[in-house]
Amino acid sequence: MANTALADPDAGLTQAQLAARYGLRVAGERPSLADYSRRLWHYRHFIAAYANAKLVASYSNARLGQLWQVLTPLTNAAVYFLIFGIVLKQNSIPNFIAYLCTGLFIFNFTQTAAQNGTQAISGNLGLIRALHFPRACLPLAITVTQFQQLLGSLVVLLAIVLVTGEPITLAWLILVPAVLLQTIFNAGLTMAVARMGAKVSDLRQVMPFVMRAWMYGSGVLYSVVLFEESLPGWATKLVEFNPMLVYIELARVALLEEAPVLNSSLPQLWLVATGWAIVMGVGGYLYFWRGEQEYGRG
């Protein structure tokens, strides 16, 4: 017996002890947050390349190609202007066309990212099961794709603002940090819905209704002053903390000289916008990371 023990030093060890002795780890084990973040940074070029490929592929079968990333929000703006600007006579708002387009373009950035994010995992199961990489690359690539589309849309938006009589001012510079904060917010939101979409496949069907309700509650199509006129004071205060309302109001303050705003305090707008970017950006990332070992299974 003594000779057998000497011949086999692993005799009597449990599976856990053997794994520890030889440095074995559980397949698909979630890495530490620091290690996961380092690996994600190493894949930044993959994220950019994947986002570019998705952007090109999304319009590859359309005759007008990537021109649709501009035509789509313009068409929506024309339809909503017909309904709210002409039929419902919201023209009491100074420069209603620019007011409406600003709200639509900014909201569409978040709406499209969130809706596509629900399929970031469930729509890429083949890639996930074939290759080993941080799964957060997928929702982040969606955010990058939508950011690229937004840049094209902003060029059109600035043209609309100028054509409708707004002057170029230094306030336009506000748009840069506002969009960056919204991008961080979108990244966290996209990661959060990506994990939820991986668990609940029906989320894809529900998301359009959620986003439509969010749009109506963000003053995209009408004057935000209506919130003060129709809601009690405490409810109006809650609406002021609606992240989409905040990002839209910052864009309108930047581009329009006489845009009605619900929160006239610019420092508070920046504080809330920054707070939402941090809370959703960090919270969405942590929430997605905690489910890393679940993606692609089942």
Banded model confidence at residue 124, pLDDT cuts 50, 70, 90: confident
Predicted TM-score (pTM) of this structure: 0.85
* Axis crossing angle, helix 137-163 with helix 96-117, rounded to the nearest 10: 170
Sign for the pseudo-dihedral over CA of 58, 60, 66, 69:
negative
CA distances (Å), origin 155, targets 31, 150, 170, 220: 41, 9, 17, 19
pLDDT for 127: 86
Residue pointed to by tokens 């809601």: 231
- The tokens describing 61, both together, are 């079968």
Q: How would residue 88 be classed by pLDDT, with cut points 50, 70 and 90? A: low
The pLDDT of 98-127, averaged and rounded, is 91
Can you tell me the distance from the alpha carbon of 187 to that of 69, in angstroms, rounded to the nearest whole number?
A: 20
Distance separating alpha carbons of residues 241 and 257, to the nearest angstrom: 23
Beta carbons of 259 and 96 less than 8 angstroms apart: no
Rounded mean pLDDT of the chain? 84
Please tell me the predicted confidence (pLDDT) of residue 60: 61
Token representation of residue 173: 């510079």
Question: Which pLDDT belongs to residue 1?
Answer: 46
- For the CA atoms of 82, 86, 91, 97, the dihedral, rounded to the nearest 10 degrees, stands at 20
| CA–CA dist 104, 97 (Å, integer) | 11
